[in-house]
Amino acid sequence: MKNYVKLNDGHKMPKIALGVWQSHEDTKQAVLDAIKAGYRHIDTAACYHNEEAVGEAIQESGIDRSELFITTKLWNSDIRAGKTREAFEESLKKLQLDYVDLYLIHWPVDGYVEAYKEMIELQKEGKIKSIGVSNFKIHHLQDLLSKVEIIPAVDQMEFNPQMQDEELLTFCKDNKIVMEAWSPLGSGKCLSTPAIQLIADKYHKSTAQVILRWLLQKDIVVLPKSVHKERIIQNYDIFDFELNDEDMCLMNQLNQNLRTGPDPDHFDF
């Protein structure tokens, strides 16, 4: 299996990113550990308040900028206020970068179409390589697709064993939109599922590794978060085994439509 996916705009995106939501003061070290372990994709957001730390780690890593894939996201208050460009420039400054690889609308709040159109302009200026969305259900995507000429490269959604939206995954695939799974481990809640432990024992892997591998085999990009070096290394070490069809089916059957985060149709922030 290749370790990157090709987006609908031609750019390559590494299939495993380090997520840094709630990484707090450990962010810089976690990013450095991740880069050392082979990660080339980091997923942050303006509202995580750690873009500076991510930027410092990128500088310190010594890795050529062209080898890294950096994602950040436009926060809801900036979308509502029509401040896409200002918010983007602020993120860029904090990250100490002159472009980001992927910029996402964080949540489908009022004003997302206008924000997305501004992102298209920033893309034309070379400041964003790929543009996408997050927390967009099918009806949000249908609305956006009817109003803009550039299809989002990515939809970043909660997707893990207990929260599987197959209909959205199919819609994304049909429209050449790559799905990224946020909270791929269910924020840790899926790690002690007995059925996953049985599969993990069989492959001599951890439950985290089985979940992440299952998602990759479903063509979903994963963003596991950890601030522990050994877990960061472990979460990347998933290219040397393959779940068979029977185990893929067993994982698919664990769905409970149970979210760990907010429903994109009902949130109050």
Ligand X SMILES: NC(=O)c1ccc[n+]([C@@H]2O[C@H](COP(=O)([O-])OP(=O)(O)OC[C@H]3O[C@@H](n4cnc5c(N)ncnc54)[C@H](OP(=O)(O)O)[C@@H]3O)[C@@H](O)[C@H]2O)c1
Catalytic residues: 48
CB-wise, 97 or 179, nearer to ligand X? 179
Q: How far is the CB of 147 from ligand X (least distance, A)?
A: 22
Choose which of 27, 50, 72, 206 interacts with ligand X (CB under 6 A): 206
| H or E segment and range at residue 134 | strand 128-134
Given 138, 227, 248, 250, the residue binding ligand X (CB under 6 A): 227
- Smallest gap from residue 137 Cβ to ligand X (A): 13
What binding mask, one character per residue, do residues 7-36 give for ligand X by CB under 6 A, x or -?
A: ------------xxxx--------------
Please report how close the Cβ of residue 153 comes to ligand X at its closest, in angstroms. 15
Among 16, 72, 226, 236, indicate the residue that binds ligand X (CB under 6 A). Answer: 226
CA nearest 58: which of 25, 88, 35?
35
Does residue 43 touch ligand X according to CB under 6 A? yes
Query: In a 3-state reduction of DSSP, which class is residue 54?
Result: helix
Q: Kindly tell me which residue out of 12, 85, 117, 231 binds ligand X, with binding defined by CB under 6 A.
A: 231
CB of 160 to ligand X, least distance (A): 6
Please tell me whether residue 225 binds ligand X under the rule CB under 6 A.
Answer: yes
Using the contact rule CB under 6 A, the part of the chain among 51-59, 166-174, 184-192, 250-258 near ligand X is 184-192
**Binds ligand X (CB under 6 A): choice among 50, 91, 183, 193:** 183
Other beta carbons within 10 angstroms of residue 115's beta carbon come to 26
Alpha-carbon distances of 130 from 72, 104, 122, 258, rounded to whole Å = 11, 9, 10, 30
Q: How far apart are CA 156 and CA 158, in angstroms?
A: 7
Segment near ligand X (CB under 6 A); pick from 79-87, 92-100, 137-145, 177-185: 177-185
Compute the distance between CA of residue 218 and CA of residue 197 in angstroms, rounded to an integer: 19
- Candidates 107, 154, 73; CA nearest to 266 is 107
The letter for the amino acid at 126 is: G
**Is 150 exposed, middle or buried, given 0-12, 13-18 or 19+ CB atoms closer than 10 A?**
middle
| 132 counts as binding ligand X under rule CB under 6 A | no
Does the protein bind ligand X through residue 156 (CB under 6 A)? Answer: yes
**21: Cβ–Cβ under 8 A, 6 or more apart, which residues?**
45, 48, 225
Q: Nearest CA to 14 among 50, 63, 85?
A: 63
3-state secondary structure 202-217: HHCCCHHHHHHHHHHH
Taking residues 46 to 85 in sequence order and writing x for each that binds ligand X by CB under 6 A, - otherwise, the string is ----------------------------------------
Among 134, 178, 193, 205, binds ligand X (CB under 6 A): 134
Nearest-CA neighbor of 261 among 151, 166, 174, 184?
184
- Site for ligand X, rule CB under 6 A: 19-22, 43, 106, 134-135, 156, 182-188, 191, 206, 208, 223-228, 231, 234-235, 261
